[in-house]
Structure 1
């Protein structure tokens, strides 16, 4: 079995866990399960997973606490499962580092499609294929983005970003000095119809800046707020 296709499902309803496990295993994924927040966080930290599906409402520790705990240690892609009336909680989930969410009740096929889409955007090119691929590199004075490897260097130091943080940075950096409003960023970076709060963008920009700032204040300053409009990736004229 390919250990690089291992998914953790953290969900207290056995019926939902079994359903997700069945559909994901049909697609060739290895699925491990946890039925409460404590066990989910323990497995997420101790083991290496390609992706984590995390329910918001869990016994022990809820999904927000678990997601925050994972993000303190790892950048594993996280899809959060939420009920219809939990929009405020979904926003909080994004704030602590979730990459995507799916509203219950859901189609298992939709989950599989979301998993594949998120993994396509976050996966690295296998080492054996690197010589066959033309490197997609964005190089600036303080930031280097290697898109083939989904790797970011700020001030020469690698920065650990979540898939969504990486996508946001890469999208902005591909159009230097162009201003994007929040609606544009939601549409382009989140890739599908998204009816959430525009604060989601602000939260991701904040987290991105904080991570860049830890290794290079100059790199962090390249993500510029255009008050009343949105954000841009600012590059000084040569």
Structure 2
């Protein structure tokens, strides 16, 4: 049973999250202020932290920074602040994802499941691929040796840039990548590339994926931030 630490100063929200996570089969611990979070993480085992940004005692970004100094535990930042700089700073500090208030508890549970699946993927055999990302209904398989991609076992023809973009997004489903982060990873020769170029490639990638998975928007945009892959 995975153990989730909920750090949230609003008691009703914390209790609601704990109830939904418990129904999904997770053990939970709740903390309402930030002062003791780092020492608690040092002394207890947790698989993932739901970490509010605005906390009494010590703020979420400071806690995230301090935890990353000694642990690679998965962290989902929970915040009502949608400023781009806060989002990017959180990701640079090692946060795996962001959830903005108000949110659906079911969405939080889905995000938790996605990240924990990535951390502890199920054992698979007979898959001749470098990357295989799965959820209940969507499977993305990427072979970086020959740049072949399949969605739910259906081949999809991608350009090298489209393949690399999908490869980056699939390496951490649910994580938000800014346009600048995608540029740095796709174009490693330091060429000058505009953010509109990334938008254009993402648009073409989406069109090809949607032709196969018409019911699900796999590559989703996050307003003023960037893109993420959502496996539903």
TM norm structure 2: 0.61
Which whole-Å CA distance do the structure 2 matches of 1:97 and 1:32 have between them?
Answer: 22
Check whether the contact 1:182–1:198 (CA below 8 A) recurs between aligned residues. Answer: no
Deviation by residue 1:40-68 (Cα, 9 ceiling, x = unmatched):
22222221111111011111211111111
Determine which structure has the larger helix proportion and give its number: 1
* Aligned residue number for residue 45 of structure 1: 42
* Aligned residue number for residue 218 of structure 2: none
Check whether the contact 1:94–1:200 (CA below 8 A) recurs between aligned residues. Answer: no
Partner SS, residue 49 of structure 1: coil
Work out whether 1:25 is the aligned partner of 2:18: no
Work out whether 1:122 is the aligned partner of 2:119: yes
- In the alignment, structure 1 segments of 5+ residues that lack a partner are 139-144, 149-170, 206-222, 231-238
Q: Of residues 180, 188, 192 in structure 2, which corresponds to 1:225?
A: 188
How much does 1:184 deviate?
5.2
Which whole-Å CA distance do the structure 1 matches of 2:162 and 2:94 have between them?
Answer: 22
* Aligned residue number for residue 167 of structure 1: none
How much does 1:172 deviate?
9.7
Q: Of residues 104, 109, 114 in structure 1, which corresponds to 2:101?
A: 104
Which whole-Å CA distance do the structure 2 matches of 1:73 and 1:137 have between them?
Answer: 35
Q: Of residues 80, 91, 113 in structure 2, which corresponds to 1:83?
A: 80
* Aligned residue number for residue 179 of structure 2: 198
Which whole-Å CA distance do the structure 2 matches of 1:8 and 1:192 have between them?
Answer: 19
- The structure-2 alpha-carbon separation of the partners of 1:137 and 1:38, relative to structure 1 and needing over 3 Å to count, comes to farther
Partner SS, residue 58 of structure 2: coil
Aligned pairs for 1:170-185 within 5 A: none
- The structure-2 alpha-carbon separation of the partners of 1:184 and 1:61, relative to structure 1 and needing over 3 Å to count, comes to same
Check whether the contact 2:53–2:59 (CA below 8 A) recurs between aligned residues. Answer: yes
- In the alignment, structure 2 segments of 5+ residues that lack a partner are 133-141, 148-159, 198-232
Which whole-Å CA distance do the structure 1 matches of 2:87 and 2:143 have between them?
Answer: 24
* Aligned residue number for residue 125 of structure 2: 134
How much does 1:73 deviate?
1.0
- The structure-2 alpha-carbon separation of the partners of 1:193 and 1:54, relative to structure 1 and needing over 3 Å to count, comes to closer
Q: Of residues 51, 63, 67 in structure 1, which corresponds to 2:64?
A: 67
Across the aligned residues of Structure 1 and Structure 2, the Cα RMSD in angstroms comes to: 3.7
Check whether the contact 1:91–1:200 (CA below 8 A) recurs between aligned residues. Answer: no
Which whole-Å CA distance do the structure 2 matches of 1:64 and 1:202 have between them?
Answer: 25
* Aligned residue number for residue 52 of structure 2: 55
